Amino acid sequence: MISSAPQSNSRQLASDLPEDTLSKQFWRSLFYFNVYRVMMVVVIITITWMMHDPVFGSHNPQFFLYVALIYLLFGGISMLLIRLRFPRINWQIAIQIFCDVLFISILMHFSGGIQSGLGLLLLVSLAAAGLISRGRLVLFYAAIASIGILLEESYTLLNVEGYQAHYLQAGLLSTGYFAVAWLVHKLAKHTAASEQLAIQRGIDLANMAEINQLVIQDMQDGVLVVNSTGEIQQHNLHAEKIICSSQELNAKSNLAVQAPLLSKRLESWRKDSGTNFDLLRIPESNALIRTRFVPVRGESKASVVIFLEDMSHIQAQAQQLKLAALGRLTVNIAHEIRNPLSSISHAYELLEEDSNIVSTHSRLLRIIRDNTKRINKIVKNVLQLNRRDQVVLEDIHASDFIGSFVDEFCYTEKINSNAFSIDIPNHHILKFDGGHLNQILWNLCNNAWRHCRKQSGSIQLTVTKGSDSRIHLDVIDDGPGIESSALNNLFEPFFTTVVSGTGLGLYIAREMCEANSASLFYLEKPVGGHFRVVCRGN
């Protein structure tokens, strides 16, 4: 189905091309032929007038010059008509050939007939007419030229006293006219066939390029074609979406500017094509991709095709399958866990009130208390997964909301408020569910406090407006940051680097962000942890 349509389209276009696409070439060739005609006449006039040539115009120099000047004027008028494209090119070729035969025959008459050699000039005219018209009527033009030469020879014989006719030379010259015309006709047919084949191949290549472009654009993977200097020569929409550049990608875009991390990976691959790369997180779009590099010309690495396989959807599907199976178990038994958990907590409280308890038992009770709280926290987090779809978007003034949040967080977690450094302009308004935003910030700030130095200004909360008119809410701490090996699994459920953690905090935060048409991702920095929430604003 794909190949039949382009072939029929190619045949249709091929039939239209000789008249449309090649018309400019025909007119240009005819114009250059007239340039030759004018230069030829100028040379004849110069030789006759300034050098007093004994051949040109030997029978009547004055009338010879007059005819030559009229011939020169005809060449200028022909060039003007070519510029005006009037009349049609076939009519112009016919008129110019007839006039060439007429003027050259007259010039031959005033130069002593066929012995002057001016008849050879018609060979050039016939060859040019045949090539420009692609061999059409060229034999007819040769017949007209032959008749003109014979008529001139007969007229000179009748009107010039003592003139001896040279019909043999005239016949040979006429034979030469037909030979040139026949050769030009064959050459024109071969040229036309070659041009038609080239046009057909060009159409096929254009169709194949269009089909390839359609296939590339419809691919689920991103595709980039990068040359040796790092310029993006070709790309599809999915690649542009993955890179999520603030500028539109074009043929002059540089990969190092649009996607620095991807550019560094390309340079590493150029040095060692056997390198196995881990998944790459693009900070601008938060897309997790697998990169694959393919050289365009075999082993040459001058131009490279980069395939960007978006793993976010695959991981999301895997997580959905994991959570679907896990959710059916955990959500159903969460309430059942709480009942014996409450009994354990109550028993612990009663035992703690016993004054006769020994120190060893006291330590065991603390273990019971800590693990009971941890299990209760896991149950809470599991139950919060059901809140993902319960979204009520509202306009939230960033400065007021985050200021109140910091006060509540510091009071609840018993943290000095000086640990927070807040930089939030008053005019920023977030489009978010208030309860979700509170839970997201609580998880991020709790994580930041756990890893920071716990000094004044250790946690920074900033709100800025991005280049894409979306709001950036950053939570930054001065801790050691997250190791590169853990970044790919950072937002997976039940993944944690802390023994006492549940591994659900960041996962729930991202799920709530996506429910609010926002995104949460981690920005890798040399020092410190940096989480960014990108959401809509008003």
| 7 has a pLDDT exceeding 50 | no
Q: Options 1.10.3470, 1.10.357, 1.10.287, 3.10.450; which CATH number does 314-387 get?
A: 1.10.287
Sorted by sequence, the CB contacts under 8 Å of residue 497 that are 6+ apart come out as 482, 483, 486
Side chain identity, residue 485: S
- Residue 58: the pLDDT is 84
Alpha-carbon distance 301 to 296, whole Å? 7
pTM here is 0.47
| 338 has a pLDDT exceeding 80 | no
pLDDT tens-digit readout, 35-70: 999 999 999 999 888 876 677 888 888 899 999 999
- Residue 300: the pLDDT is 63
- Residue 32: the pLDDT is 93
Query: How is domain 220-310 classified at the CATH fold level?
Result: Beta-Lactamase (3.30.450)
Alpha-carbon distance 376 to 345, whole Å? 10
- Residue 204: the pLDDT is 92
pLDDT-wise least confident of 62-76, 99-113, 235-249, 303-317: 235-249
- Residue 441: the pLDDT is 94
pLDDT-wise least confident of 180-184, 345-349, 388-392, 474-478: 388-392
| 5 has a pLDDT exceeding 70 | no
| pLDDT mean over 69-95 | 93
- How much of the chain, in percent, has pLDDT values that exceed 90? 35
| 141 has a pLDDT exceeding 90 | yes
| pLDDT mean over 193-197 | 87
CATH number of 394-535: 3.30.565.10
Using DSSP bridges, classify how beta strands 471-477 and 459-465 pair: parallel, antiparallel or unpaired: antiparallel
Q: Give the start-to-end residue ranges of the domains of the chain.
A: 4-205, 220-310, 314-387, 394-535
| 435 has a pLDDT exceeding 80 | yes
Q: Which two tokens stand for residue 514?
A: 């996506």
| pLDDT mean over 309-337 | 69
- Residue 104: the pLDDT is 95
pLDDT-wise least confident of 6-20, 171-185, 384-398, 461-475: 6-20
Alpha-carbon distance 346 to 365, whole Å? 12
- Residue 118: the pLDDT is 92
- 394 touches 432 (CB < 8 A): yes
pLDDT tens-digit readout, 381-393: 666 655 555 678 8
- Residue 347: the pLDDT is 78
Average pLDDT of the residues of the chain: 83
| pLDDT mean over 318-335 | 65
| 368 has a pLDDT exceeding 50 | yes
- How much of the chain, in percent, has pLDDT values that exceed 70? 85
Please compute, for residue 49, the number of CA atoms within 13 A of its CA located in the half-sphere on the CB side.
13
